[in-house]
Amino acid sequence: MESTPRCIACSLRQAINTTTRTGASPRVLREILLKSAALLPKLDMSRPPAHNSTRVLHLIPEMTGCADPYYVEKRDYNKRALALLPRIEAAMGESADPLLTAALTAVAGNVIDLGIATGDIDVGGAYDEVMKRGFAINDIEGLRSELTRPRKVLYLGDNAGEVVFDRALVGLLAASGHAVTFAVHGGPILNDALLEDAKEAGLDGLVPVVSTGSNWVGLELETTTGEFRKLFSEADVVIGKGQGNFETLHGAAHAPPATWFLLKAKCPSVARALGVAFGDVVLKRAPRKGYL
């Protein structure tokens, strides 16, 4: 997915939200925004929004000395999501279509995006809303067909807190005989999940959890480790959670043919690229070649 002019404004908003969490002074925030503004003309608009946002976000730890501005909030949202597990497990136990219920549960957690959030996030309310409304694009039958035999599944996690919601789908796939590996980022970027978050969510008790080795938003394959790239190339099915993975993998030549996106459209540019309304949730297979 290519960047749009709206993405520039979003990068600056993420910079403000992230810098504010470091406790930096107004003077330091001003310096970061000025340096970000100087970087904007150099951004390649043919690259995904996630790529350009990361270039701006990487200025913040350099200029504030705070490596993980969202650390405390990530712990909090992991706990909030874990408190919902009894409801999630009950819904899975009562479901007539566990795969669909698990996919909806997973995408419900994608609302926990602190880089663009304007206030406290009601994770329970988000879960209820998604389970009621369902998918705007629902390729569940295609995914079901893809999983009729044992497959190597690489599941690309997104945010802290959200990874708790992923447990339903990850656990179901593993219990169905698929070799599932769950991947998280290798270093702090926004409130994206790290190994610590996956462990707090209990995912390491279900499937192997690995690090991409990267601290770029989404999946910038060239910034990952050789070990992760091998996993990626050998996967039969890739499930990419969230906007960052959609932005960096949708239409990418290196994405495996069976790549599936599971996300909430949280900005107008992504909603337009998907052909849905702002706020809709989507389960969509990647195009086999070319861009949207």
The whole-number mean pLDDT for each consecutive block of 10 residues of the chain, a chain of 292 residues, reads: 88 94 96 94 90 95 96 98 97 98 98 89 96 97 96 98 98 98 98 98 98 97 96 96 94 84 94 94 80 34
Of 14, 44, 64, which residue sits at a domain end? 64
Closest by CA position to 184, among listed 161, 213, 207, 164: 213
pLDDT at 98: 98
Domain interval for residue 261: 73-285
Angstrom CA distances, 91 to 157, 164, 266, stand at 22, 15, 25
- Residue at which a domain ends, from 16, 45, 64: 64
| 155 and 279 share one domain | yes
Contacts of 187 (CB under 8 A, 6+ apart): 194, 214, 215
Count of beta carbons in the 10 Å neighbourhood of residue 217:
28
Q: Is residue 29 in a domain?
A: yes
Does 103 share its domain with 236? yes
Residues 23 and 134 occupy one common structural domain: no
CA–CA distance, 59 with 11 (Å, rounded to integer): 12
Give domain status of residue 208, yes or no: yes
By DSSP bridging, strand 152-156 and strand 237-241 are parallel
Query: What pLDDT was estimated at residue 189?
Result: 97
Residue type, 71: Y
Distance, C-alpha 279 to centroid of its chain: 15
290 in a structural domain: no
Considering the domain architecture, whether residues 58 and 87 belong to the same structural domain is answered as: no
Q: Are residues 134 and 53 in the same domain?
A: no
| Structure token digits, residue 35 | 């340096």
- Domain check: are 60 and 78 in the same one? no
- Domain shared by 245 and 221, yes or no: yes
Show the tokens assigned to 42.
Answer: 């150099």
Residue 157 lies in a domain: yes
Instruction: Answer whether residue 256 is part of any domain.
Output: yes
Torsion of CA 139, 145, 151, 155, to 10 degrees: 10
Query: How many domains does the structure of the chain reveal?
Result: 2
Same domain, 90 and 152: yes
- CA atoms of 288 and 239, how far apart (whole Å): 15
Q: Are residues 80 and 124 in the same domain?
A: yes
Nearest to 100, CA basis, from 109, 87, 91: 91
Tokens matching residue 43: 């951004």
> Where is the domain boundary, 47, 64, 81?
64
Please give the Cα distance from 101 to 96 (Å, whole number).
Answer: 9
Q: 292 in a domain, yes or no?
A: no
The total of other beta-carbon atoms located within 10 Å of residue 270's CB is 23
Q: Are residues 126 and 243 in the same domain?
A: yes
Residues 162 and 241 in one domain: yes
CATH code of the domain containing 89: 3.40.50.10880
In a domain, 194, yes or no: yes
Q: Are 286 and 264 in contact (CB under 8 A)?
A: no
Q: What per-residue confidence (pLDDT) applies to 253?
A: 79
Q: Quick one: pLDDT at residue 87? A: 97
The answer as to whether 291 is a domain residue is no
Shared domain for 22 and 126, answered yes or no, is no
